[in-house]
Amino acid sequence: MKKGCAIVLILAACVAAAAFFFGPQLVETGLRFLYPKPYGELVAREAAEFGLEEHLVYAVIKTESGFDEDAQSHADAHGLMQLTQPTFDWMAELHPPENGGGDIFDPGDNIHCGCALLRLLLDHYGHLEVALAAYNAGMGNVDGWLQDSAYSQDGETLHTIPYPETAAYVEKVQRAYHIYQRLYPAAETG
């Protein structure tokens, strides 16, 4: 056997051994990097105020903006939780931010109003999937879908979401939510 081949085999064996012994920790570390928990104090405070699971709030923020507080969408939504100005103003009127501010790009104001909206939608619809669809597509669209047997058999849940972007959004948030739940057990929340 040539010396070069022996070195490659030794390196491959070392990599395989490292993956065997440290693989789960490396995977978890990588996932925690991809699914971080920035704005911890803000998220904890606002989630508690509105009776939301922090994991869900993080999943929405990650999906909406990737934690970019300056994010702006093609639909003219802004900030961490991607709220349109009219929706932000509506939530700020119903639930004024603690600092009295009204800056859609301020992380505290944005998370506060985003959590207020998420709570309103969960209370209104009673089903996470439907609330997330409304967060993305708007209550008017979702109310129409719930009244249409092509999308809802019971008027409360959706068996089909007709907007591909909204269907993908709901799946993406739910996937992130489950990843956050697995990565950060309840004892680590907060």
- DSSP lists the bridge partners of residue 83 as 78
Dist CA 69 CA 187 (whole Å): 27
Closest CA to 83 of 47, 91, 189: 91
> 15: how many CB neighbours lie within 10 A of its CB?
10
> Which residues are known to be catalytic?
64
Residue closest to 108 by CA, chosen among 116, 95, 97: 97
